[in-house]
Amino acid sequence: MRLSARPIAALVAALALTAGLSITGTPAVARPDDRAAAAEASDVSIAADTYTWKNARIDGGGFVPGIVFNRSEKNLAYARTDIGGAYRWDQAGKRWTPLLDWVDWDRWGWSGVVSLASDTAEPDNVYAAVGTYTNSWDPTNGAVLRSSDRGASWKAATLPFKLGGNMPGRGMGERLAVDPNKNSVLYLGAPSGNGLWRSTDSGVTWSEVTAFPNPGNYAQDPSDTSGYGNDNQGIVWVTFDERSGSAGSATQDIYVGVADKENTVYRSTDGGSTWSRIAGQPTGYLAHKGVLDSSTGHLYLTLSDTGGPYDGAKGRIWRYDTESGAWTDVSPVAEADTYYGFGGISVDRQKPGTLMATAYSSWWPDTQIFRSTDSGATWTQAWDYSSYPNRSNRYTLDVSSVPWHSWGANPAPPETAPKLGWMTESLEIDPFDSDRMMYGTGATVYGTEDLTSWDSGGTFTITPMVKGLEETAVNDLASPPSGAPLLSALGDIGGFRHTDLDAVPAMMFTSPNLDSTTSLDFAEASPGTVVRVGNADTAPHIGFSTDNGANWFQGSEPSGVTGGGTVAAAADGSGFVWSPEGAGVHHTTGYGTSWTASTGIPAGATVESDRKNPKKFYGFSAGTFYVSTDGGATFTAKATGLPAEGNVRFKALPGTEGDIWLAGGAPTGAYGLWRSTDSGASFTRFSGVEQADSVGFGKAASGASYRTVFVSAKIGGVRGIFRSTDAGAGWTRINDDAHQWAWTGAAITGDPRVYGRVYVSTNGRGIQVGESSDSDGPGTDPGPGTDPGTDPGEPPADADCSVAYTVTNRWSGGFQAEVKLTNTGTAAYDGWKLGWTFPGDQRIGQIWNASHQQTGAKVTVTDAGWNGKVAPGSSAAFGFTGTTTGDGTAPSAFTLGGEACAVG
């Protein structure tokens, strides 16, 4: 579930940073504010067809390293994820609302959130420090996002360095903090040796706190040369003692955690002007969290021998008395008895001296949660051994709302299924409600609303509190013509069979359980037959189903397999071709009881099947397309000159032999969308598609002769999700700027049973489901233009344009037409308006890829924004349906901006 990118750029030194862009949480263009723009977003803000978007419900599926409650407003809480954005808690619906779906393709790294801060003084204000990797994998620098409407809209200050929401140590924090007394002051702890940073204007500009003495020195793996494991984890948390300030006056006592085992806590007593290492502090550990109980004056540290969130073999909890300066080891167990580090910690703001902590890296037999009501002098545990290996739990864990949390496991004691958790770096007691607590795990958010039963000797109930938070990384998608509408291949949790898109499936794919499913396929003419492959520590790496994915059985595999790779099913289910990692391409008949190496195709090639001819399979590798006509036994190289770099994905059209669409490439080479109608012997590139990364098919529009095509692509200079109902002659952008989900290049497919429905993969925001507002047609009219344009009746001169007007379909009382406007000049169009006069009583009904206004017989059509720029020699196309009592005769003349165009 992780992305890679390109070499790191040199870090840029800067004393101050200007605010970047304004990004709204409703469909709107990103706009620069009154300062210089740090980055420009797309100027496309509407789609020619209005889609609604939702997740196919899985609920969770990834690591939640941070939960933040606002301390002045009840029920205001936020959660951060490592690759899937940030969320706000909706108390009425008891669900999470996503806040960063607007993050676009070019800045996909901003979907990784390293820290969150909610303003106590002004609860409408929230801040997020974003960026996914500090090494070359992330092409953009990090940023601090700021919102004055609880995340509904954002502005950004881009930093001169990167941030690491998915780097080692990401469970530590919070690195970002707002001064509770003077909320215009914020601090940010930076990684990679970049030190401590401060803003004094509510996050608009940032500068380094040059007086801070220690940028950290701990790296998870100093021998790693990738920039991942060997990165200095830096400054990891900031905590204010609000007692040392007053409203409007900056807090004077500030505590900062540093990734340095010998010098892990620093303090300022003069509002950040000077800093010093606190004497007597524990050494040999990293302080993952630093939380101050202002009622008692105690600062608590959870410590681990590593930065986490996966590792950690030893840990402690220490208490610092801010009045006396005394340090006390208040760990709940002896150091010799720990095999884990301590991570999450929270104090009960309603009950001074009550606190809780987690053993974040206790993988086996389970995580542990500790609770103290006397400032750490004594502790109790969420579970104990009654008589080994049997456990006595203080809690009941009810996962009926997300049943897959059991992983289909039936472990022997002392393990249980479901587990209490793992990677439990975040735990927060509601500052207004001692009975409510939430904590994040590697797969979900758990919580309780009867926590104080712990103290009275009763049991408390833990349930998933994760609805709305969708964090899976999607590798592949399939929508069969019958059976379940959606099958998915996911990172970390395998994949699911969705029979109801609005319900959490009972269980992920099992038998075999794969850590990550990399590819899946079904037999087009026999959709009960399904195959999936993926990564696992040991064999098997492949599973088969004969009932559309409801039940599975393990398959055998060739020797040498180390990972899933890609797999394809014959159109009738009679055989399979598999291109696994660690072994070459192989084929089999039946269900994989015996595999035979294929010839003529290189190892590592991507494989797919023809969707009509069961003997025909396809492969692609390094710019060359391969074809087999004997069930995958032998392949022959066919078309060449296709993208040799980047990720390339291709699909064959259901129901038609040899019709193949190929998407992919890289900006440094060939990159776009191609089609073959001769089984891969030759391909033709779509000239209007600048970049494309995935392609899929859905149900054809009413009256259309070709299935609907969906792509994740860049068309007309705009990145988005596009749809074509005319075999690629014209494209409609169906997402908008509020729904971009960062990176969507892994997989896309339409639903063969529901026109317009599309399933889109994301890398951390789960499976997005798009539904068209037009239930069975090519699009909707986005509304009339505001300018009727020039009267097209008597053009005063000739323009550099040519128009092809084609009636593509007729029926009683109506017709469908396609219009292609070509730039025949030497200068690019920067927006266009095309006019004509209809013969008879023709009227436009629905239009796509443009907007229109019609007065009587006179029509003015205006570009849709994303297709307004037309280079010399290029074309823009749009289409519409119309009504008429006549025969729908085509217009005889057209004008562009009032000047005549050639017709033909």
Residue numbers annotated as active site: 82, 492
Q: Specify whether the backbone of 483 is left (phi greater than 0), alpha (psi in -120 to 50) or beta.
A: left
Question: Cα separation of 380 and 373, whole Å?
Answer: 9
| Burial environment of residue 890 by CB neighbours within 10 A (0 to 12, 13 to 18, 19 or more) | middle
The count of C-alpha atoms lying within 13 angstroms of the C-alpha of 422, restricted to the half-sphere facing its C-beta, is 18
Q: Look at residues 251, 246, 255, 243 and name the one whose alpha carbon lies nearest to residue 271.
A: 251
301, 265 contact by CB (below 8 A): yes
Question: Cα separation of 356 and 358, whole Å?
Answer: 7
Q: Look at residues 86, 89, 79, 136 and name the one whose alpha carbon lies nearest to residue 111.
A: 86
3-state secondary structure of 225: coil
Query: In what side-by-side order are the strands of the sheet with 276-277?
Result: 235-240, 254-258, 265-268, 276-277
Two tokens, residue 523:
């037999």
Residue in the block written with tokens 């990384």: 473
Evaluate the omega torsion of the peptide bond into residue 792 and state whether it is cis, within 30 degrees of 0: no
Secondary structure element (H or E) that encloses residue 202, with its range: none
Q: Look at residues 524, 541, 525 and name the one whose alpha carbon lies nearest to residue 533.
A: 541
Question: Cα separation of 713 and 731, whole Å?
Answer: 10
Residue in the block written with tokens 């859905």: 698
The pair phi, psi for residue 731, each rounded to 5°, is -130, 140
Question: Cα separation of 284 and 37, whole Å?
Answer: 44
Going by the DSSP 8-state scheme, the letter that residue 671 receives in this structure is E
Q: Which residues contact 52 (CB under 8 A, 6 or more apart)?
A: 770, 771, 773
Residues 317, 320, 321: CA angle, nearest 5 degrees? 145
Q: Look at residues 690, 684, 639 and name the one whose alpha carbon lies nearest to residue 665.
A: 690
- Which string of DSSP letters, residue by residue, matches 792-808? SSS--SEEEEEEEEEEE
The letter for the amino acid at 378 is: T
Task: State how far Cα 241 lies from the chain centre.
Answer: 36
Evaluate the omega torsion of the peptide bond into residue 168 and state whether it is cis, within 30 degrees of 0: no
Q: Look at residues 817, 744, 820 and name the one whose alpha carbon lies nearest to residue 779.
A: 817
- Which string of DSSP letters, residue by residue, matches 846-876? EEESEEEEEETTEEEEEE-STT-EE-TT-EE
397, 420 contact by CB (below 8 A): yes
Kindly report the number of other CB atoms within 10 A of residue 36's CB atom: 9
Question: Cα separation of 901 and 12, whole Å?
Answer: 51
Question: Cα separation of 738 and 430, whole Å?
Answer: 31
8, 231 contact by CB (below 8 A): no
Q: Look at residues 820, 825, 831, 827 and name the one whose alpha carbon lies nearest to residue 869.
A: 831
3-state secondary structure of 336: helix
Residues 374, 375, 376: CA angle, nearest 5 degrees? 95
Q: Specify whether the backbone of 875 is left (phi greater than 0), alpha (psi in -120 to 50) or beta.
A: beta
Question: Cα separation of 151 and 232, whole Å?
Answer: 30
